[in-house]
Structure 1
């Protein structure tokens, strides 16, 4: 009976090892293409990329400014401000609207949005939506632009809006009160995100740089966190040339999750010039230079980090992409498998020890019962 139990535990031990092995093997453009003026023309005529960020300032003077984005959000120094008005959105449900244009512009994946989408509460004026886009990395390197306590997330979404006092995004982009961007961190969960699939399912249609396609309208609100009440607020800039310092940033504390397969599609499908993969399209965090980061909520330090389900299922060795609220809910699938593996190993060792002990005991008793056999 004990031998049978030992073999059963050993089988489970091997099964967990196999699952762990398979788990490890599976793993903004902030201004739109409508950016205005001479700086905008320059950003198109001058070739820039994410590998030469240090040179941006030599061509685009605003990139040398002291109100640049993205930033690291330090939860210990963020200032709670109970006067920050709640974010209220209208017109985000585009289910019955005309098709939306999805574009690979060589820097990001961008979805054009109608001006009927609005932020109607949260700022002094109404802000119209213009476009949304994403920033991402690779399996080895998470690609969010903003960080929380120096922790990068796998990806980030930005929904760009412009002040209703201006005619369009192009006019508003260079104005001090011109833009408002809603940003959210994207993590990796265990299930596919059906809302994000409405965009990601069309990736192959825009795999080549400067190609676009149309996708059916859907409820864009579902691309943002369920709760919009907890957020950080600061003044900053576009995170790509021409780096206009005209953005009122709102970064939500809660996050969205997609499956590892969905994120891999974003990392491995789109191409930019010379047929290179479009990935690692994020700017390094910029210095604050005394700017204040406000928080719409007051919480203990343990509650200040983004509320998220596991950020990664397949990269347990990369601590930069881990952020959780504690307990098993914050562990990656690899971490959970490792714990299970360790537990089964301990059980296996214990069962083997008991088995060996029983065998020695049985042999000793047999010697006492049949002493003459010891001389054969």
Structure 2
């Protein structure tokens, strides 16, 4: 990897901040397409949006050429680097499984926007941190019995219950009226995302491969989506209706920015940071979506108790992300001690080597 640890964290935080803004804007756009745009076809919208990710596939060779040229000036150990990076390509069956998980997460999320406000959807979707914690025990082998995650889980469940019981009041004719089905779909999306992030962290070790991975997601969405659209059309679950040019333009713009670009950036942030740090950042969509829904668009009025529920979810995500950061740091230090290749801090390195620490190159 060309980036230092500090550089990776900084880049990851910048990418994550952009993703948060795009996610909230995209959620609002999808809901407006369903209501004001009068195109209530979540399956067709999901398939079309995710299929566009296949456009990323031609970009991968260009990125690979740029990476090789940037490293050509450093010939020492280049052969070893080629062998090590080759091993970082994810296996095809892993990519297929990740693609299915991502399709399920996006479909349930988009469908839930028919039955929940953007603010409620953000609160419920942020509970993915709890699912990430649960699945990280199995997939990433994180420790099981820890007080902070258990407390965070209780807070998150309490926040979800409070949010679900105290539904926001619609203030506009186009405002969505919430139903329990929307809550189930949003939580299902959070569960799929929790599994997805843990598998992504384990199977995809290099953010440089994410263009290829998400390009393949587009192919997988096409393979799964087209038969699904046909089946739903003939069974009456979702009749296939072609959008108008205005609807098509709005859907395409949201698909490119809110799906292809943001999904790729999100996965890069997962690789650069960690699954739960990203979940913590995504919790910022809660106050941002409340601001957009209640103050900017004036679609719903939220009770004080509803805001308390959202705050409980936000606090839970913060606690569980902080705890996971501590666990990962301990594992990194243990790995460094076992390998004997790196010391954690510059001060420790100077004490070990007795020389001045050289500057870290990033590129």
Bigger share in helix: 2
TM-score, with normalisation over the residues of structure 2? 0.28
Bigger share in strand: 1
TM-score, with normalisation over the residues of structure 1? 0.28
